[in-house]
Amino acid sequence: MTFLGTGTSVGVPVIGCDCAVCRSSDPRNKRLRSSVVYEAGGMSILVDTGPDLRQQALREKLRSIDAVVYTHAHMDHVVGFDELRAFCWHRDEPLPMHATAECMVSLKQMFAWAFSPENRERGYVRPAPHVIDGPIIYQNLTITPLPVLHGAVRTIGFLFEFPQARSLAYIPDVKQIPDETLLRIHGVDVLVIDALRNSPHPTHFSLTDALAVIELVGSSEAYLTHMSHEFDFVELSARLPRGVNVAYDGLKLHL
The Cα 173–Cα 11 span in angstroms is 14
Residue 86 CB, shortest distance to its own copies, in Å, is: 4
Residue 53 CB, shortest distance to its own copies, in Å, is: 9
122: phi > 0 → left, psi -120 to 50 → alpha, else beta; which? Answer: alpha
Residue 81 CB, shortest distance to its own copies, in Å, is: 8
CB 156 within 8 A of CB 132: yes
Comparing CB distances to its own copies, the nearer of 33 and 165 is 33
| Residue (of 188, 226, 208) closest to 33 by Cα position | 226
Q: What DSSP designation does 150 have?
A: B
CB 37 within 8 A of CB 65: yes
Comparing CB distances to its own copies, the nearer of 89 and 176 is 89
The Cα 247–Cα 230 span in angstroms is 14
C-alpha distances in angstroms, 147 versus 2, 24, 144, 184, 229?
22, 35, 10, 10, 27
CB 149 within 8 A of CB 175: yes
Residue 15 CB, shortest distance to its own copies, in Å, is: 4
Comparing CB distances to its own copies, the nearer of 158 and 248 is 248
| Residue (of 188, 193, 182, 176) closest to 240 by Cα position | 193
The Cα 108–Cα 125 span in angstroms is 12
Comparing CB distances to its own copies, the nearer of 110 and 253 is 110
Comparing CB distances to its own copies, the nearer of 76 and 221 is 76
Q: Which parts of this chain interact with its own copies (CB under 8 A)?
A: 9-11, 13-16, 51-52, 54-55, 57-58, 62-64, 75-76, 79-80, 82-83, 85-87, 89-90, 109-110
Residue 111 CB, shortest distance to its own copies, in Å, is: 8
Residue 75 CB, shortest distance to its own copies, in Å, is: 5
Residue 229 CB, shortest distance to its own copies, in Å, is: 12
Comparing CB distances to its own copies, the nearer of 89 and 216 is 89
Comparing CB distances to its own copies, the nearer of 13 and 157 is 13
> Where do the H-state alpha helices sit in 111-218?
112-115, 179-185, 207-217
